[in-house]
Amino acid sequence: MDNSYKRLEKSSTNRMICGVCGGIGNYFNIDPTIIRLLMVIFGCTGTGIVAYFIAAIVIPNEGEGR
């Protein structure tokens, strides 16, 4: 039985700060630049900055927890 499923993980190769946007882009199979632009727009509210750093803490690095 194949246990292959997608996991949301921070990217270790496609990262600017913590790899959160790269990991989200990999998970949804879209360009991480689009995610970064959305995070910048969302970050202007102040809530986006908090959400990013919570995601950086909660989302595991690539290869961890397997």
- Provide the pLDDT confidence category of residue 57 given band limits of 50, 70 and 90: very high
Q: pLDDT tens across 2-42, in order?
A: 567 888 888 888 888 888 989 999 999 999 999 889 988 98
Burial class (CB in 10 A: 0-12, 13-18, 19+), 48: middle
- What is the rounded distance in angstroms from the CA atom of residue 26 to the CA atom of residue 37? 15
Distance of CA 3 to the CA centre of its chain: 22
CA dihedral sign of residues 16, 21, 25, 31: negative
